[in-house]
Amino acid sequence: MNAFTLAQRVLSGLRHDRRTMALVLVAPLLILGLLYLILTGAGSSCTVAVGNAPQGFVKTLENSDKVDIAVTNLKGDDWKEPAADAPAATNAQLRAAVTEEGALAAVNVGSDLSKIDIYLDGTSAADAAKVQAAIASALQEENQQAIKDRLSALPIELPADAIASPEVSTNYVYGQEDASIFDSYGAALVGLIAFFLVFLIAGINFLTERTSGTLERMLATPIRRWEIVAGYTLGFSLLALIQTVLVTLFVIYVIGMKVVGSIWLVLLINALTALCALTMGILISNLASSEFQMVQFIPIVVIPQIFLCGIFSLNPVWDAIGHAVPLYYTANALQGVIIRGSGISDIWLPILVLSGFSLVFISANIAVLRRRRAW
């Protein structure tokens, strides 16, 4: 009987805790919905820039069942079959199509269909492998069709092994051919882990300050609201900075992640990410009344950002929604610096946006304290 009585007490407490009930009911649906969108492959199309190539090759590439491909020319415009005497694309043009036009791959097919040059963006090893397979398959199919067309007038049947496989030359502009899964996602994960841990630590610690009465006693003094927010932010920032440095140095010098760009930019991005997580954690902690409720906010606040931050292929609508979360800019900037070697001129926008998010959360924290003092 005592066990049943205790169970009734627990259920009664949960029934009156609306925030807990809402999180328990909403969070699983949100996470499963996002997982469904990702695991069912609702990704956006990949762009492949094509130099010299026959029309049949392009059509086969566009109709590939391996990945959704949009074909353009080397300058990013709509592709048109070049004239027979058109000069072949240079290596510099193929590379520029990836680095400047943003194509996932740039290809140039030899006039006799025996060779193809591919310049590939290997930032995402999974996408790169799919596109490379689609290109090779399209070339093989076009090569076979061309040989059959030439021999169609002859009274012989072409053996299956009479068609040689075309020579494929692949050059990785970003990333590397033997990249592991960690090489593809590790750059973004550095920022994601830092964000998650700082968010949780800052939120729970500020919640403890509030529930223990320390914050209420400070609000009863002449101290200004912005000074309280600044003090807590600076105090937690020191711990967040130490954690950021340790995580960054660990993945580079212990795990061996290759950083093409500047390590100082990696530290800067992670520091801004930690500051954003810290100020957001303090803000969210005002909505919780216990450590248990603070942890419950993780599926609502943190996990959706991981799905929307850009490390997974999403359709254009969800990709646009991802621009509204801080981790999108963290992942974008870290992948740019670590994998592509981007400089400050390339990642100034993510840095500016992360700083803006932090200022917004700081302002919101000051506003919340104003209301609390009024109470």
Give the residue among 127, 75, 128, 125 at the shortest CA–CA distance from 100. Answer: 75
Structure tokens at 56: 């049949």
pLDDT at 252: 82
pLDDT at 355: 93
Q: What angle do CA 242, 248, 207 make, to 5 degrees?
A: 45
Structure tokens at 80: 């048109």
SS3 assignment, position 240: helix
pLDDT at 375: 47
Q: Are 131 and 104 in contact (CB under 8 A)?
A: yes
Distance CA 330, CA 333 (A): 5
Amino acid at 83: A
Q: Are 255 and 179 in contact (CB under 8 A)?
A: no
Q: Which stretches of 110-261 are assigned E, i.e. beta strand?
A: 115-121, 167-174
Alpha helices (H) in 255-347, listed in sequence order = 263-285, 291-296, 298-301, 303-308, 316-322, 326-338
Tens of pLDDT along the chain (375 residues) come to: 566 666 666 667 666 666 666 666 676 777 777 777 666 655 567 888 888 888 888 888 888 777 788 888 888 888 777 776 777 778 888 888 888 888 888 888 876 666 788 888 888 777 888 888 888 888 777 777 766 666 665 555 555 445 556 677 788 888 777 666 777 778 888 888 889 888 888 888 888 877 777 777 776 777 777 777 778 788 778 878 888 888 888 888 888 888 888 999 998 998 999 899 989 988 888 877 777 778 878 888 888 888 888 787 777 777 888 889 999 999 999 989 988 888 898 899 999 999 999 999 988 888 887 765 544
pLDDT at 265: 92
Distance CA 330, CA 302 (A): 13
Predicted model pTM: 0.79
Long-range contacts of 313-319 (CB under 8 A, 24+ apart): 313/38, 313/41, 313/42, 313/43, 313/44, 313/124, 313/127, 314/37, 314/38, 314/42, 314/43, 314/44, 315/37, 315/42, 315/43, 315/44, 316/44, 318/37, 318/42, 319/44
